[in-house]
Amino acid sequence: MKIDFITVYTIDIEKTIAFYQRVLDFKVGRRFSPGAGMEIVFMDDQHGHQIEFIKDIKELPYSGSGLSIGFYVKDIKQTAAHLENHRVEILYGPLTLDSGVKLLHARDNNGLELGFVEQPVR
């Protein structure tokens, strides 16, 4: 068994698509409307992973905490600069742990936490 995608309910699917395309270089994999008041888009990270975003007038959009999506990056400082250039809210970081792992956390347009991790070179 493996995870193929996660699902996030959103209030603004157009803004979400634009954020993930512009900031994180995701591509729209599939986009469709299975019924009135509902739209689904699968955003592809181009490495075989997807996030499914759903706008559904019958469901509440994501508005919580305690959930983050993690991304491994090659250069945490470059990632921080990229996020700042796109005016993405940075929650904390970049910071370096005693282990050498570097962390940065930000938020997407839905309030979902995005974690960025640079592993130390060994």
> What domains, with CATH codes, occur in the chain?
5-56 (3.10.180.10), 68-118 (3.10.180.10)
pLDDT-based confidence at residue 68 (cuts at 50, 70, 90)? very high
| pLDDT for residue 58 is more than 90 | no
**pLDDT mean over 81-103:** 96
Least confident of 2-6, 79-83, 92-96, 104-108: 2-6
Residue 90, burial from CB neighbour count under 10 angstroms (0-12, 13-18, 19+): middle
**Rounded to two decimals, what is the model's pTM?**
0.90
Six token digits for residue 59 = 């469901």
Q: DSSP label at 77?
A: H
